[in-house]
A and B are shown apart, each in its own frame.
Chain A
Amino acid sequence: MRTADDRVEATPKRPNPGLLVAGAAVSALVLLPIVVTAANAEAAGWQLAVALLWRPLVGELLLNTLSLIACVTAACAIIGTAAAWAVERSDLPGRRLWGVLVVVPLAIPAFISSYAWLSLNSAFATFGGALLVVTMSYYPLVYLPVAAALREMDPALEETARALGNNTRAVFLRVVLPQLRPALLGGMLLVALNTLVEFGAFALLRFRTFTTAIYAAYQAGFSGAEPALLAMILITLCIVCLAAEHIVRGKAQYGRVARGTRRGAVRYRLGPWRAVAPAAFALLGLVSLAVPLGMITYWLTQPSAAATTVAASSLATLGQAAWTSVRLGVGGAALTMLLALPLGLLATRYNGWLIVLLERAAYLAQGAPGIVVALALISFTVHALRPLYQSTLLLLLAYAILFLPLALVSVRAALLQAQIRLEEAGRSLGLGWFAVMLRVTLPLAAPGLGAAAAMVFISVTTELTATLLLAPIGTQTLATQIWADTSTVAFAAAAPFAAAMAMMSMLASWLLARRFGATSVFSVTGEGAA
């Protein structure tokens, strides 16, 4: 995605010092949670750290987390690749419809589907249940890049392999699959990262992973040391995923050896499977979409008294929670964009090791999951910035830290749209730096920036963990309401909130996809939800 030559090749000018300071401040801000967590962990001292980490609990967490990740990633790889191949490369009946349906689960947060499955049967609160819910939520992260790679592949390669004596299966194994490897691996690593940082779904399904254990340790009121130490392990795992993804992405772009016009992709006849394949897709749609949405609908029709209710749902509380979610979404998107812009400008307009460093730092922040960011911010404000504690601003800052890497990818792409020579033309016509920014750069980048803001908005409204921990007392969002109701098994009470959130997320994603293409939605959940 990022290559050396999309950086400006023109003479490197000295960046505006104000911009540089702003960029440095933003990078420092997004790294703050990791630094605070590390400091808290360090404060425990060696002896305590070893005692806390060398426990069966940590082993169990590692085993749980890693085995789940292995299974989820493998399942997503198989389902995502098979679905992508069928949609892009076979004569599957109704493939356009299926192509849309398989992406929709991305718009339904995993903790909503886990609520739906759990309310269907509490037996889903197991490893198998967690595997099912997370796989169904994240397999589109494999589907989208693999489908794109299949679309881009030169059909002449497959034809040539046929002419060299390979049958369809051999062609897939020897030619198609090796070329899918970068897309497939990249997608699998995103799945692994998302599984690592997932909190809500696992908490509801009573499946113990690092995120839920950190939350439990925090709730138990231990000193900052235990959650911080667990968080450090989680951060390390996340950064391993990020680094692997970075390597895969950088290394793997085979590209096409040759360029030029070519025919559309080769489509294979499914033969006898043609009747079976739609049934498989229907099953996938049933499990990934129909059950979650169906269960929400079912509980909507049940009187909320049918379940013991903590937060009695009424139209008024629903409206209020939705309005709070929207307000926080808009605020979070605005703040994130404000912070992403200076970094984006630096990264696309100037060269130099300092700028590369600042940008890398911002991407590294993805290594801190929502729970880690929230706890770090709590600890930091309680100790150093008391007035910010329990404030809406702090919550917005948490959103900005969580979703800045996501926004930065799009901001960067958008700013590259506004070519530097157009800015130079503006300068030569007598406009100052700031005037050029206002009258040339921002208007040209506006659509892309809009998309970035929309993505952050969707991510914020469906975010659970940080909201739960940082929302000022009395602030209820859709996510916190669903959480409050489902954790007390008040499924019917949670239904209106879950329905509102699913509707909002799917509507916004649909608008985004219609305006900017399916891949834009991909990046939403690809890096965000936690």
Chain B
Amino acid sequence: MANLQITRLAKFFGKSPVLRDVSFSVAPGELVAILGASGSGKTTLLRLIAGFESVDGGEIRLNDEIIASQSVFKRPEQRGIGYVAQEGALFPHLSVADNITFGLGRAQRKARYRVAELLALAGLPAHYADRAPQQLSGGEQQRVALARALAPDPKLLLLDEPFSALDAGLRGETRAAVAEAIRAAGATAILVTHDQDEALSMGRRVGVLQHGTLVQMSPPEILYHHPVSAFVADFVGDAVFTPGLAGNGKVHCALGELCLAADNVAGPVKVMIRPEQIKINADSACGGVPAVIKHMTFYGHDAVVTLDVKGALQTEEVTARVFSHTMPRHSRAVWLQVEGNVVAYPAPVTVPGPETVSA
């Protein structure tokens, strides 16, 4: 278990910056998820920590020892940092057991040190030890890769989009198994991903990388409900944006007068509402602003309803996410209420227009 401290980290590929001024720290035993679109620099960040690339500015400290800076470069094999690559990267010429013990000394390799224990930790049956990697499914390969990375007892574990190559069903299952194994091992870990669900569900804290800059790092619920910018709001989940006028902790918009989560803006704003905050009432008795259903998309457990709401200047389109059994069925005329607080971002004064984005 170890703590990691990253300070003002910078990396350039040629002249173009890939990472700029990235600072954060990871506490012992913590799992931090880094969320970013492709090209945001998230994989580069991981490779810098692992030592596969050299840094161009700032420093990385592991247990208060500088392992990478412009003047220091500790070789990857000396860092004691485990790495799980995108597709597991199991050695095709070695059995599962030999893969798992690869990072151990000769004597421990011969003795198959901890193979059974690690297989169990990764949720795999013990008789998998003698299989060839080719005989495993993608999810099983990932679990072996995790067991292999954990075997030498690394100070820190890096996971580079470990589930992206798996299909949806397998992904959830593998994710849960890996999260459990990491927890059981008490490992400090950084997970890099472009999948919001994965980041939010696995990370004790989640950082968002945008064009090489770490724009927010918070616990998942803060990140989701109080994103620092419209970009983050949109990136971590579906969001409805609508123009409004803020003041005194309240905001006026097409959906009525709503409470702000923080009283830090005034004047013209962009209001961010999560689609699941919008409640649809079938009759006016329950209150709310009138709206007209345009269309509905059924997803099984829930449904997304697209509605037209009359705003101050023009009709605005908003989307609401409801449990599918509460989907309105009888009338196209409904009334909308917003539950909970909303977030607003200062907006340049332009002609307000309808803006609905779903990520």
Contacts and interface: CB of A to CB of B under 8 A. Distances in A.
Contacts, number: 91
A174 B92 CA distance: 12
B89 A154 contact: yes
Contacts of A179: 91-93
Contact of B85 (A159, A167, A259): A159
Contact of B82 (A163, A255, A258, A260): A163
A466 B89 CA distance: 50
B88 interface: yes
A165 B133 contact: no
A257 interface: yes
Contacts of A256: 92
Given A162-B76, A163-B76, A258 B138 contact: yes
A157 interface: yes
Given A161-B102, A163-B77, A163-B82, A258 B88 contact: yes
Given A165-B103, A179-B92, A254-B93, A160 B85 contact: yes
A305 to B, nearest CB: 61
A161 to B, nearest CB: 7
Given A157-B89, A160-B85, A166 B141 contact: no
A166 B148 CA distance: 14
Contact of B87 (A170, A181, A254, A258): A258
Contact of B102 (A159, A164, A255): A164
A162 B77 contact: yes
A156 interface: yes
Interface in B64-111: 75-83, 85-94, 102-103
A178 interface: yes
B51 A255 contact: no
A159 B138 contact: no
B192 to A, nearest CB: 14
A155 to B, nearest CB: 9
B4 to A, nearest CB: 15
A182 to B, nearest CB: 10
Nearest to A256: B92
The interface size bin for chain A is 20 to 34
Given A157-B91, A258-B89, A258-B138, A166 B83 contact: no
B87 A260 contact: yes
B298 interface: no
A159 B93 contact: no
A409 interface: no
A165 B85 contact: no
Nearest to A182: B93
A504 interface: no
B83 A160 contact: yes
Interface in A347-372: none
Given A163-B81, A163-B82, A257 B76 contact: no
Interface in A379-418: none
A180 to B, nearest CB: 10
Contact of A156 (B89, B134, B149): B89
Contacts of B77: 162-167, 170
B52 interface: yes
21 contacts: A159-B52, A159-B85, A159-B89, A160-B85, A163-B50, A163-B79, A163-B81, A163-B82, A163-B103, A164-B82, A164-B102, A164-B103, A165-B77, A175-B91, A178-B94, A179-B93, A254-B93, A257-B89, A257-B90, A257-B133, A259-B87
Given A159-B89, A257-B87, A258-B86, 4 more contacts: A166-B103, A175-B91, A254-B92, A258-B90
